[in-house]
Amino acid sequence: MDDALIWLGLAVLLVILEIFTGTFYLLMIAFGMLAGAAASWLGLSNPLQMLCVALVGIGAVLVLRLRRKQGGAAPAPAADPSVNLDIGQSLRVEHWRGAAPGPYHARVAYRGAQWDIELEKGVPPEAGEFVIREVHGSRLLVSAAN
C-alpha cells in the first residue's frame, strides 16, 4: 500500500476520533498526518515523512495552545451574554431590602415572573434602573445602569 494512503487513512481516523473528543488536538495531529501524505507524494523517504508529521503536528498543537492562552479566560456561564440573553438587560427596582454594608436584595417583575435581585457590591441601594450582570438560577445580580 502506498505510504500516502496510509498517512491519509491515519488522518481520517484522527478526524473521526476528534469528533468524539472536541478538543481540536487530534485535528492538529491529523494536519501532521496530511503533511506526511504530502511528503510521501513528493517522494521523500519514510524518516523524512515522519519528521514532517512530527514537525507539523507538534507545531499545530503549540499554535493551538498559544491561541487558547492568549484568548484569556472565558467568562463564567452565569455572566456570559452568549450563554444567557438576560445579561445586559435592564430592569427597574423601586426599593431595596437590607442594611449597610449589604448585601441588598429586592423582588421585581421581569419577563412576566417574579425574580430575586441582588445588588452588586459597592453600588448604592437607590431606586432606579439597573443592568443584569449575572444570572444564578432565579436570582439576578445587578449593577447600576450607566
Average pLDDT for 104-109: 91
Average pLDDT for 6-27: 92
Could you read off the pLDDT of 47-79 as tens digits, one per residue? 999 999 999 999 999 998 998 888 766 677 777
pLDDT of residue 78: 75
Average pLDDT for 131-140: 88
C-alpha 13/C-alpha 89 separation (Å) is 46
pLDDT of residue 10: 94
Query: ∠ at Cα 122 (116, 126), nearest 5°?
Result: 60
**What are the domain boundaries of the chain?**
3-70, 77-144
Kindly report the backbone phi and psi dihedral angles of residue 29, in degrees, each rounded to the nearest multiple of 5, phi listed first: -70, -35
Tell me the CATH number for domain 77-144. Answer: 2.40.50.140
pLDDT of residue 15: 94
pTM, two decimals, is 0.52
For the record, the C-alpha cell of 92 comes out as 427597574
pLDDT of residue 9: 95
**87: pLDDT strictly greater than 70:** yes
133 vs 98 pLDDT, higher one: 133
Report which of 79, 83, 85, 96 is spatially closest to residue 136, judged by C-alpha positions. 79
**81: pLDDT strictly greater than 90:** no
pLDDT of residue 72: 67
pLDDT of residue 103: 85
β-sheet with 128-136: strand ranges across: 90-93, 128-136, 139-144, 113-119, 105-110
Range with the poorest average pLDDT among 3-12, 50-59, 95-104, 111-120 = 95-104
Query: ∠ at Cα 93 (106, 95), nearest 5°?
Result: 60
